[in-house]
Structures are given as structure tokens and as C-alpha cells.
A = this chain, B = another copy of it.
Amino acid sequence: MTVTLADVAARARVSPATVSRVLNGNYPVAATTRERVLRAVDELDYVLNGPASALAAATSDLVGILVNDIADPFFGIMAGAAQSAIGDTGTGRAGGEKLAVVCNTGGSPERELTYLTLLQRQRAAAVVVTGGALVDPAHIAALTAKLTKLGDAGTRVVLCGRPPMPGDAVAATLAFDNRGGARSLTEHLLSLGHRRIGYVAGPVERSTTRDRLDGHRDAMTAAGLDGPDADRLTVHGRYTRASGYDATRELLARDPSLTAVVAANDTVALGACAALREAGLRIPDDVSVAGFDDLPFSIDAVPSLTTVRLPLHEAGVRAGRLAMGADTPPPGGVATIPGELMVRASTAPPRG
């Protein structure tokens, strides 16, 4: 039926062992023999049997990339960058290609674990886990256990855009400085003269939400604005446009006099803009708006969005290279990646 190594060997008049060695290029083979084998491979249109090879060699060329939401460019950009970094690291040697695949957890902890098990089952060469973690201790424990098992089985584990985990299960961690970024964003608003600043946060159970909110609070506290308003002007929602819209209406109801809204991310900020506009408020004349992440569409928003730029592409590439073992891990295994404040047209001094 399908062509096997033995078929190729027969056609090239060598032993299967030799064909295997030519294909893997990890053993000296005379040039003329190699030539003959390669020709046979070509003529028979032979494709290696991955499972058989993985079984015999006890390693596979699968690399998994876990994302929370594949329809969100935040993850798409990182995943795409990681995937191409992994694809490009194939040193040109035949058969050296890795199969970098992305798995969409939809933000569900169970699916996250399920995918990790599936990847473990496939004896994946590496796993890149992206995006904010759940704060839930039970899940962290389960995840740590799973990653440890993966690590023990020889799978390289890399965290990207996610806080470090306890234990030494993880080969490398690339964490975003969400807290610092959020702080500088709020500081920007404060320096413009804003005092009544609403905050549209993400889901409480996510570390990203907590870190960004902490950064915001840091800045507010430093400005002496940590009164009871802090809680009253914070609304939690999901990382969606609709959530930003709803939350902003709520904020407006709680304090119609607020002069700025900080959103958990750019997508949420878009929803906030819609709600404000609908309320007859102009941006930034009446109310300033700020986002986070600097996704591609943010610069196109009207007005263009002030936000914190996260080097998603660069982080993805680095994560991919780390997963391949092509880069050495940062000292201590953890690198914190700073965000960069991008001041654009959606923020301005408050009126009066």
C-alpha cells in the first residue's frame, strides 16, 4: 500500500538502516550512497511514518502552542510568531522540520489540561503556553503537576506572556510586565490632570487582570487617590468589546463625572469608546480612553488609541526559539518583558 522505508531501501539497493541514516543525517553515509537513497525517496515519493519514527526514537517532532483564544489577535500574533520561529529553525537538514501546531483552549482550564495530556500522549518535543494564568490555586497545582510530568518526559516547556510558575517544571518563562505597564498608563492620565478615572477590568480570576489592576492602583495610590472610589470606579468583565461597552455604561451610571476610562485591553477599550460615544461624550474632549496591548487595530481607532505596546511578535519568536532549544534561557529562567506607553489621540487633559 503505502511506501515504507524498506521499499526505499530495496529500490536504492541498501539496507533500511542506511535509508534511515540518510534521512536523519546523523551518521556518516558515503556521498554516492546518499545520492542513490535520496533519488529512491524521490522516485517513490516516500513520506516518513511519523508515529513509527517517534516510537522507535522515543521523540516526536510535534510542538504544541496553547492559546486562550485563537480569534483574538493578541494570541494570534504570538502564536504565529512562535510557529514561524519554530518552522524556520529547521536547520535546512531534510526531515528536520518540526510540526508547530496551535491549540485553542478557549480560556477553559479543563481544555488546557486536556490539550496538555493530548500533547503528552504524542510525546511532544516542546510546549509553549501563552496568555495569562488562572489565579485559582487548584488549577495552578494541576497545571504544575502536568507540566512537571511533561518536562520529565523530555518535553521542553516554555511560558510566554504568563507569570512564572513554582517549581522547576518550566524551561523558560517570558512574562510581560503588566503591572508596570498599567502603572505608567495611569500615571500618564494622572499627569494630564485626570482624577476621576474609571477602570474596566478583565475577569477577576486571571493573573493578567490582577496585574494590570494592581499597576493601576499603584499609580492611583501614589497620587493619593486610593479612597473608596477605587472600588467604585472599577468594573470587571471579560476581554471582549461587548464587555467593555457594558462595563463603561455601568461606570457612567456610577459616576457621570468621570473624565477618563482605562480598559483592560484594546478590545475592551473599543467597547468603552462605543458606550461613551453613545452617551454623547466626545473622546478625548469629554472623556479620555486608554487600552492595553497595542493591537494592530488600535492605531486605526477613531481617535487612535493611547495604549501600552507589548512586543507580542518578538515575544512569540523568542518563545519559539526557546522551545527549539535554539536560544539559551534567560538567567533564572525568567525574563520580564516591559511594555511601552504609546500616547496617541484618545487621551487629553480633562476639560476646564
Of all chain B residues, the one with the shortest Cβ separation from A59 is: B51
Q: Which of B55, B64, B99, B104 contacts A55 (CB 8 A)?
A: B55
Kindly state whether residue A54 has any CB partner on chain B within 8 Å: yes
A70–B64 touching, CB < 8 Å: no
List of B residues within 8 angstroms of A52 by Cβ: 51, 55
CB distance from A176 to the nearest CB of B (A): 18
State A69–B76 Cα separation when bound (angstroms). Answer: 8
**A259 part of interface (Cβ distance < 8 Å):** no
Contact indicator B60/A71 (Cβ below 8 Å): no
Main SS class of interface, A: helix
Kindly state the separation between the CA atoms of A76 and B68 in the bound complex, as whole angstroms.
12
Q: A79-B104, A241-B296, A271-B300 are in contact. List 6 more A-B contacts (CB 8 A).
A: A48-B121, A50-B54, A51-B51, A51-B55, A51-B60, A101-B101
- Interchain residue pairs with CB less than 8 A apart (15): A49-B123, A51-B54, A51-B123, A55-B55, A61-B118, A70-B70, A70-B76, A70-B79, A71-B77, A83-B104, A99-B103, A241-B297, A241-B300, A270-B300, A302-B302
Most chain B C-beta atoms within 10 Å of own C-beta, residue among A60, A83, A106, A300: A300
Most buried by B among A77, A79, A101, A241: A101
Residues of B within 8 A of A297 (CB): 241, 270, 297
Note all chain B residues with C-beta closer than 8 A to A104: 79-80, 83-84, 102
A-side interface residues, number (CB < 8 Å)? 57
Closest to A73 in B: B71
Is A72 among interface residues, defined by CB-CB distance under 8 A?
yes
Q: Is the CB of A121 within 8 A of B50?
A: yes
Counting CB contacts under 8 A, is A87 at the interface?
yes
Q: How far is the CA of A271 from the CA of B97 in the complex (A)?
A: 37
A336 an interface residue at 8 Å Cβ cutoff? no
Distance between Cα atoms of A242 and B111 in the complex (Å): 36
The listed residue (B54, B71, B101, B277) touching A76 by CB distance below 8 A is B71
Encode contact with B along A105-122: 1 for CB under 8 Å, 0 otherwise: 010000100110111111
- Kindly state the separation between the CA atoms of A11 and B75 in the bound complex, as whole angstroms: 43
Does chain B have a CB within 8 A of A32?
no
Complex CA distance for A149 and B84, rounded to whole angstroms: 26
Smallest CB–CB gap between A62 and chain B, Å?
7
- Report how far A114 CA is from B88 CA in the complex, Å: 12
Instruction: List 5 tightest A-B contacts by C-beta distance, closest first.
Output: A101-B101, A51-B54, A71-B76, A50-B121, A51-B51
